[in-house]
Structure formats: C-alpha cells, structure tokens
Structure 1
C-alpha cells in the first residue's frame, strides 16, 4: 500500500510514522534507523546538551533520509537549536513550554527553509498558539502517552479530532498536518490515527524497545514486560529525583509502577519538603535499588513484547496499518 498523507508528502517519507524524540532513548542511531526504514526519525536532544549533540548528531545527520531533532522547550537554550540547524535537519520538534523564541530563530536562520517546525501540544490553547506561530506540523498528545504530558489533558481518541477540526477551521488554504501521539503501540494504532484525521502517528514507548535504543537495559526489560494497567500519571518521581521544573509545572509523567510511587503517592507536598527523602532516592539509584530513571511508558505498553531493529519495526507497523485499513473497508 502506498501511504500518501500530508506528512509523507511534506517530508518525502514512505510511511506516516514518526519516532518520538525521547531523551535518553532516541539517540542518533535510532533516529537514523527509523528514517532509513521509511519513517521520520527524531533525535531526542532534551535540553540541548553539547556533548550529547556532538556524539549523536553525526549518527543521524548523514543517514541519507529525512530526519529531525526534538527539544524540551523549557530547558533548552536558543544556542543549542542554532547548533543543530548547522546540520540542516529536516525538522525541529519543540515540546513543553513557550516555543516562540525558538520558532523565530528557526524561521530567521538563513537558508533553513527546509527545516520544518513541529510543535507538540497537550491542550487546545497550546494548539491555537502553535497555529499562531505558524507550525508546519502539530503533534496532538493524548494523556495515554508515556513520559511527560498534560496533568489534566484529554485522551488521544477525542483530542486528535478536536485539533484536526481546529486546524481545518483556522486554515485558509491547506491545513497543517496533525500527528496523533499517546497510546499508539502498533500498526492498528497508526491506522486509527489516520481514521481520526491525523496525517500520521508519533510513537515513543514502542521505539524505546528497539535494538538501537539508548535506554538502559533494565528499562527496556521493564517496558517489554510491562502492563498498561500498571502505568500511572504522577509527579512523585519528578519530585523525588529533584526535577523541580517538571514537578512545579502543569505536566506530569506517565510511568510504570515504582517503589517511591507506592511510598509517596498522595504525600507529594511532604516529599517535596524532605531533602532526606530526595537524597534517599539518589542513594537508591546509585546502589541499583531503583532504575536509573523512571520507566516512562504509555498505556500501549502491553503491545510492546519484543526488541526488533527500528527499521524492521517501521515496516511492521506499516504492514499492520495497511492490514487494519484494509479490514476497515472490507478488502
């Protein structure tokens, strides 16, 4: 099946499948493998750490296929985005926080008309801002997603059509492509995203469990063995690990179960005030009693049961999506 959506046409990719720029997991090798497999691979640049970019950018910048980089907006300096632009990415994705200064910089960069701006949104106010800023692509993230997302957002099924409709009503010409994110773990989810009016899907948890992922083996093992019923959106682990910018924001994180969650659930204020408890968390990480990072995992984690190469996974997702769409129309 030849997939043709606003996303595939914009980037010249074969499949409407994008790998999320997950900090600590989505390195250059993973992004390159996704792109070579026919999707759009995004390197997770996080806060734009210089050493990380120096190490990982060369792995994807020369992959010969469209690729991009994703940043945590609230934690990134404009200079980090400028360093990435020197490598001529096809896309820069911005998530969480006001993207205005970064969008302006990308637009102003001489000769970077090829770089598309992807803005992730978790509610309709953020979607409206993304439109006002002239986003080339909008990622509508539902609350099923792993990692950080809206504390009081909407699930993917109703949220994506709302964003699609908002974009259509605000567009005088061709609507901005919308990607569905959150709870997509196989090709059926990709097909569902297309049925909702999205131009493709952005997957995170599923791509953490690939052979190119940078995630710690203990985290990958937990994802492969994890269950969606065990995931929980919370701020406890951000507080425990001293991530104050996250814990004081409107964003919480969906993770698998964790000893500190059970210990401090409902006692977040007490945890935030206890330097001893936060030090105990760091000590437990050092001695291996808890994972090096919380296990960011979405509700689709049940669908993650193996550890394939990323390019192989992209092809599998596309085949599953084709089959699902064929069943839907009775083929």
Structure 2
C-alpha cells in the first residue's frame, strides 16, 4: 500500500516519509536503508566535513533510490555544497540559517532544494527562494530547533497554507504511523522523522544512546542551550536543543549566561567526558521518544509507519 502525495510524486518515492539529516546519526547506511524501504533518505552532512562526505555519500547512493544531503546552513560554506554536488547529490536540504547564498550553487547543478523552517518568516523566505519542498519543524522535535517556536499541530497547516502549492513535510514529535496520518490530515505532503530513526539498526549511534532512547520518556526531554554552551559549541542562540536528561542540565539549568562566561565549566565538561562521567554527546530526543520500543531495520520501519498510518485513517473513517 502507498499514500501518494505531491512529495512522493516529485521525488518518485513510494512513501511520504523522509529521514531527518541528523548529524552523527544519519550516515550512509541509514540513508540508504530508508530509501530502500521506499522513503527518502537524507544524509546528515551537518558541518560539511569533506572526508566524512566522501566516505558516507557513496554508501547513501548505494541503494540506487532517491536520496538527499542535509547541511546546517549557518555552519557551512559554498565549497561544502559544491563538494556534495560533485559527489553526485541531486537534492540538498538546508536547516537553520539563510539558504539564499547557496541557491544558485544548487540550481546550477540542476538539483532540488529542501528548506527546513521554524517560523513563518523563514517559511516565506524559503518560498521566495524557490524551495522545492519546505519542512515545517515544530518545537517537539529532537535536536536543535526554535527557542520560541510553535508546536507541530498548529504550525504545519499554517505553513502549508502560506507556501502552497509547494509541498510541505511535517517534523517534530512524529514517531509512529498515527503521527504520519495526522500530518497528512493537517495538509502536509509527508513527514520528516528524526528521533525514531535513531533507534534503528543502521543508525550511527552508540549502544548507550540506543538504550537511552528505548528507556526515555517525553517528560524527560528538555529544550535548552546548556549543553551547547558546556560543549563549547558555536550553535547560534536562537536555536536550542531538545535532549534527554543530563547532569549538566541539572547543574546549570536557568544559568545559561553564567555558564557562557565560565571557561572552567567548559574544560570541566571535557574532563568529565574523558573520565567517563558523562557521555561524549547529549542524547538528542524529541517528544515522540515514548513511542520507541524496539530497534528495527530502517527499511522495515518505513513500511511499518505506512501500515500504521493506513490503519489510523481506517479507524478515523469508521468514526464518520
């Protein structure tokens, strides 16, 4: 069974499910598995490391199915985008920052553009730039997102109306087929899923991260800047990160300015990693983490999500 949409028609994929390009998790194997399952895999190129791209992009392409490459817009330069295109990428996704400087680079390669947005101003800008697909990310999403954004349920239909007829993908808190069905009912043409795909056989995550996701609960997630500051990360302050609980959150919650001025705290964070007191990376997790109960292959998960979505639509139909 399939759920055809403008997104599936545009990218010639079977299912309206895309992999969020999670840096550190969405490597070539995960990207290829999602594409083999009939979804749209997007490689998490993040900061555009050339060596990483050269290793992982051919793996992503090995499925023989459509896929994309995603970047953190604020952290890259045109050379990174050129490099991905030279390696064969035909779709580029931009998140967090103005993609304007890179549009001509992508268009000159006759590649498609996906832009993730977290507010209506960003959505208008993406539409004006001629994005082929726009991702509307709600604050339930794991990892980075708007400090003061809208939740997925009210955000998606407003963006869909604003940018029509450009296809929209819903993102944030979607971890099973009921969420897929809800997004389509809201006017989206598909979904972009991150946290759920971290808990799959092909994800580039540590076993401890996998265990944390399986045990994690929504009320344990928190959106904050504390862990970016403690890690010495250059992430702009307008985007915070939703993670599972962490000792440094408990230590520095509501004291971000103090932490930012404390160089010793950053050194202490690295020392604690070296001593094994804390994990090397935070556990990025969205509000759908409650729904993660197993670790399937990503290809199987795509099919399961569609089956669940169809069942959700059938139940809704019986109630009318």
TM-score normalised by the chain length of structure 1? 0.95
Residue aligned with 1:299, SS:
coil
- Please report how far the alpha carbon of residue 235 of structure 1 lies from its aligned counterpart in structure 2 after TM superposition: 0.4
Q: Is the 8 A contact 2:26 2:42 kept in 1?
A: yes
| CA–CA separation in structure 2 for the residues paired with 1:43 and 1:149 | 18
Aligned to 1:80: 80
- Please report how far the alpha carbon of residue 89 of structure 1 lies from its aligned counterpart in structure 2 after TM superposition: 2.5
Aligned to 2:10: 10
How many residue pairs get aligned? The number is: 319
Q: Which runs of 5+ in 1 are unaligned?
A: 169-174
Over the residues paired in the alignment, what is the CA RMSD in angstroms? Answer: 1.0
**1:34-87 per-position Cα deviation (integer Å, ceiling 9, x unaligned):** 000000000000111011111101101232100111000011121111111123
Aligned to 2:193: 203
Aligned to 2:19: 19
Q: Say if 2:170 is the partner of 1:194.
A: no
| CA–CA separation in structure 1 for the residues paired with 2:7 and 2:307 | 18
Q: Is the 8 A contact 2:141 2:286 kept in 1?
A: yes
Which of 183, 200, 220 lines up with 2:210 in the alignment? 220
Aligned to 1:117: 113
Question: Equivalent residues in 2 for 1:169-318 (5 A)?
Answer: 175-243=165-233, 245-246=234-235, 248-318=236-306
Question: Equivalent residues in 2 for 1:110-149 (5 A)?
Answer: 112=110, 115-149=111-145
| CA–CA separation in structure 2 for the residues paired with 1:103 and 1:255 | 31
Q: Is the 8 A contact 1:40 1:66 kept in 2?
A: yes
Which range moved further: 319-328 or 195-204? 319-328
| CA–CA separation in structure 2 for the residues paired with 1:228 and 1:40 | 26
- Please report how far the alpha carbon of residue 88 of structure 1 lies from its aligned counterpart in structure 2 after TM superposition: 3.0
Aligned to 2:99: 99
Q: Is the 8 A contact 1:66 1:89 kept in 2?
A: no
Q: Which runs of 5+ in 2 are unaligned?
A: none
Aligned to 1:172: none
- Please report how far the alpha carbon of residue 118 of structure 1 lies from its aligned counterpart in structure 2 after TM superposition: 0.2
| CA–CA separation in structure 2 for the residues paired with 1:120 and 1:72 | 10
**1:124-166 per-position Cα deviation (integer Å, ceiling 9, x unaligned):** 0000000010000000000000000000000000000010110
